[in-house]
Amino acid sequence: MSKGQFKIQQMVFIIVAIIILFGIVSVFFVSIRFGSLRGDVEDLRKDAVLSQVRKIAGTPEFNWIASDDCASCIDLDKVFLLKERNTYRGFWTDTSLLRVSRVYPLEESSECTTENYPKCNQITLVNSGNFEAYESFVSLCRFDQELKQNKCEIGKILMGFDTVK
């Protein structure tokens, strides 16, 4: 091998080494960057769910109108009827769990269906993915067929957000 060829080979090795070094540094940098980005996205989703779970009782789909002075009352009949409507799929963005549960008094059946409503304990509107959930206590109000008047019971709203894989 002539000296010139040796020099060329030497430089090729150096360039390859520099490229590998750049590659390693880039991978390291990108992993740190995406790690922080993942954290930021999770924080945003968590903030969204935390801020929504406190206010969702006042949204048109949940609010109880028969009483003008109850900010944390939910119209249980409306929420149950909402469950039947496919059009609401995807309406609550960044939410992978949205459930209204009875706290007291508890009934025998778990999930509400057209057969067991209102003698049931929970109405699930959204349930998908791996979620981290937060809850807020509310009053579940409806017109009681037996009492022939409005009735409120203790319940809670659970909201969860998709954790970033």
Partner 1 sequence: MNRKGVDFTFSWIFAIIAGAAILGAAIYITTQLIGSSDTQRDTLVAGEVANLLNPIQTNLEDNRYSVINFATDTRVYNECSTQGTFGVQRLSTSSKTRNQWSEESIRKSVYDKYLFSREIEETEDKKLHIMVNPLFAPFKVGDVISIYGAKYCFVNPPDGVEDLINDLSIDGKQDIGINKTNSINDCARNVTSVCFNRIGCDINVNTQSETVTKDGNDMYYEGDGLMFAAIFSDYEIYECQISRLMKRASELGAVYAKKAIYLQGSGCSNNLASDLQSFVLAANVSSSRDFARQVMLIAEGLERRSNELGSCRVF
Binding mask 52-91 for partner 1 (x = CB under 8 A): x-xx-xxxxx-x-xx-xx-x---x-xx--xx-xx-xx-xx
Nearer to partner 1, 70 or 103 (CB): 70
Distance (Å, whole) CA 10 – CA 36: 39
Shortest spacing between CB 140 and partner 1, in angstroms = 15
Instruction: For residue 131, give every residue at least 6 positions away whose Cβ sits within 8 Å of its Cβ, in sequence order, or none.
Output: 96, 97, 160, 161, 162, 163
Other Cβ atoms less than 10 A from the Cβ of 56: the count is: 21
Nearer to partner 1, 41 or 103 (CB): 41
Binding mask 133-162 for partner 1 (x = CB under 8 A): ----------x-x--xxx------------
Shortest spacing between CB 48 and partner 1, in angstroms = 5
The answer to whether the beta carbons of residues 82 and 61 sit under 8 Å apart is yes
Q: For residue 9, give the 3-state DSSP assignment.
A: helix
